[in-house]
Amino acid sequence: MKFSTIVSSAFLALSIVAPISYASEPEVAKEAETAVVNVDAEKVLAVLKADPKIVVIDIRTPEEFAAGHLAKAMNIDFKAETFKTELAKLDKEKTYLMHCRSGGRSTASLPIWKELGFKRVIHLDSGILGAEKAGIEMVQGKK
């Protein structure tokens, strides 16, 4: 895949804005829906380079995270009882790149992101395994 295609795809992904909807009653505004963009591992680096303010959230267990994760990633364990509470502490207006190991947990977490009112979520649908296969560098340790 050409670099220009990857960059174009990244900009397209980042240009998606949560749709605005209006309530049937004028005095009650309905909340905007969460915009979820699914990306494959080959596009992740371009997406992160296009917007360095994107917050990376790794929802694997702390043990999985410590074994290797994307640089600057924050770990919030999907299997922990506190997952929803920890996620709720994040700024809903920021853009998040979220992933797990292979896509299962991250896909299962999408309704929670929507329920909590996050505006922009980029979902690495092939997970960390896809990122490793694509040659994306991992860092080890708890941070």
Q: From the CA atom positions of the chain, what is the Rg in Å? A: 16
Length of the chain: 143
* Cβ atoms < 10 Å from Cβ of 111: 10
Give the confidence band of 31 by pLDDT, cuts at 50, 70, 90: very low
Helix (H) or strand (E) holding 36: strand 35-39
What pLDDT, on a 0 to 100 scale, did the predictor assign at position 33?
79
Taking residues 27-37, report their average pLDDT. 62
DSSP 53-91: TPEEEE-S-HHHHHH-B-TT-EE--TTSTTHHHHHHTS-
- Contact call for residues 139 and 56 (beta carbons, < 8 A): no
What pLDDT, on a 0 to 100 scale, did the predictor assign at position 143?
59
pLDDT higher than threshold 90 for residue 136: yes
What pLDDT, on a 0 to 100 scale, did the predictor assign at position 22?
29
pLDDT higher than threshold 90 for residue 70: yes
CA–CA distance, 48 with 14 (Å, rounded to integer): 10
